[in-house]
Structure 1
């Protein structure tokens, strides 16, 4: 009579395999070869939340949702025991397609909750931008699915420090070397701020909702990447600032030279 496999040993082996997957910022990287064993087949005593998106193709919505889920996963890791009853994973549809075909997924990002004891229902899936584009709503959706209230990890924000450093360098260096007056440099910085606030890409980034596109049968949300537009406009603004700054310098020195010339007669 063949020896029966102990379910506890199978479960331990499965968790060990799960924890051996590549991990980045709290998210396990899962592929088609692992889905059946780690997300569907029993025994399992854990939930697995899988984000379907891509880091290879240009998908702004995927990037935003992934960042939110990384914060949630990192917050969960900080408070949960190991092994845990909840894990988070990412699935890149650029490399794998099994889940796309099985669940009929037509847009990304998309999220699936694999419960411990059953197959995912429609309530265990979400592709609604109102949920995936809000960290607070995503936390609430996960709480409703798993029963865990998670406090997301808060990433340190050094933006203000970087901006202050850049401004200090821009203003300080010319003053140290003495070839630009404080008044001229203030005008130069103010002009840069004004031009940046007139930037179309900036206001799109602040105010624009996702684009909605329809093919006549289905409606799709599209989250375009604006990185290229912002970079292009930044170059234009920087060039305009340089030109205007040179114009101001030329005007200042021109007026000074003219005044000195008249004073010499």
Structure 2
């Protein structure tokens, strides 16, 4: 019996020693994580993460590296056109960093796609995509600046790179390949316009009439009022799809952002409003020459258009500013 007790004690001691020796130290765990992240980064500039990898490499300490992560939904079933555009810009930033002198094992770029990492979306409580996050090396309390404000700055590679530099203090330039097709197309277009002006002078003179110039000016005014130039600068998407519901939004709920489809809607809104005022101020009095009924019809149509557009405008304001208190005819 004594021998059996002795053997049992020795077995427990041996098991304890083995467990202690098998348990990895904090520096060893950190070295393995950095090594694995570096291997993934060597294969591709943007590391694809699943739920377990996100939890282990981005949310769990020890960690002495920062990670810039994009949460997105690239599957065709999600119909997220902005996701593909933002993904291309994100890859441009990651590729520029990996090919620069600033590249090291202190900063990595990663991506969590909804189809393969739904747990990430639940953890971060995401309802819209794409979203860009900075996970600092030290962890700690959440800083609102660690989430990129795409509504204010757009998702161009240059804007993303500037935000990465501000959050990580890693400096590099975005390197884009030259767009030869745009250069060739622009050159051909300029030559074609000059050729038409030279060989078809009379036709060009007929086109440049007072009426045509007025229509063209009105179109440009409506286009600029609707925010088309902002779309070009910020790289706005056509629309946005909620990955959870699949619902397509054509008007952004952010008062600091808009979609291309939204600018078309605003353009139509202003155009109809302008038409209403033209009916009231110009066509109404002119219709008196034909009959009083024609004048009444023009005035009623003008008032209806102005009232409809005004109500539509207030409704859009309520969509973009949830606390906006005013409405007319429709909410």
Normalising by structure 1, what TM-score? Answer: 0.60
Aligned partner of 1:174 in structure 2 is: none
Matched, 1:161 2:184: yes
Structure 1 position 18 matched with structure 2 position 37: yes
Given the superposition, is the C-alpha separation of residues 97 and 23 from structure 1 closer, same or farther in structure 2, using an over 3 Å criterion? farther
Distance (Å, rounded) in 2 between the aligned partners of 1:102 and 1:9: 27
What is the rounded CA distance, in whole Å, between the counterparts of 1:69 and 1:120 in structure 2?
Answer: 25
Greater percentage in helix = 2
Give, in angstroms, the shift of residue 162 of structure 1.
6.2
Output one character per residue of 1:143-194: Cα deviation in whole Å (capped at 9) or x when no partner.
22111122112222123236768999xxxxxxxxxxxxxx79xx9xxxxxxx
Aligned to 2:68: 49
Superposed displacement of residue 13, structure 1: 1.7
**3-state SS of the aligned residue for 1:73?**
helix
Query: For 1:93-172, what aligned pairs fall within 5 Å after superposition?
Result: 93-119=114-140, 121-123=142-144, 124-158=146-180, 159-161=182-184
**Cα gap change, 1:9 to 1:82, in 2 (>3 Å):** farther
Shift of the 164–144 alpha-carbon distance from structure 1 to 2, 3 Å rule, reads closer
Q: Deviations over 1:171-230 (max 9, x none)?
A: xxxxxxxxxxxx79xx9xxxxxxxxxx9xxx9999547455344xxx87967469xxxxx
Alignment RMSD, CA only? Answer: 4.4
Name the structure with the higher strand share. 1
Task: Decide whether aligned partners of structure 1 residues 127 and 53 sit closer, same or farther in structure 2, where only a CA change above 3 A counts.
Answer: farther
Aligned residue number for residue 31 of structure 1: 50
In structure 1, how many angstroms separate the alpha carbons of the residues matched to 2:102 and 2:166? 21
1:77-92 matches, within 5 Å, as 77-80=98-101, 83-92=104-113
| Max Rg structure | 2
SS of residue paired to 1:212: coil
1:114–1:120 Cα contact (<8 Å) kept: no
Once residues 24 and 59 of structure 1 are traced to their aligned partners in structure 2, the CA distance between those partners, rounded to angstroms, is 27
Deviations 1:121-152 (A, max 9, x none): 14211343222424333222212211112211
Closer, same or farther: CA 23–91 of 1 in aligned 2, 3 Å: farther
User: Is the 8 Å Cα contact of residues 32 and 98 (structure 1) preserved in structure 2?
Assistant: yes
Distance 2:48 2:27 in 1: 25
1:212 aligns with 2:251: yes
CA, structure 1 residues 79+213, in 2 after alignment: closer, same or farther (shift >3 Å)?
Answer: closer
Structure 1 residue 50: Cα displacement: 0.4
Structure 1 segments unaligned to the other structure (5+ residues): 169-182, 188-197, 226-265
C-alpha separation between the residues in 2 aligned to 1:47 and 1:29? 16
Q: Runs of 5+ in structure 2 lacking a partner?
A: 1-16, 192-198, 204-218, 237-249, 262-331
Distance 1:133 1:10 in 2: 35
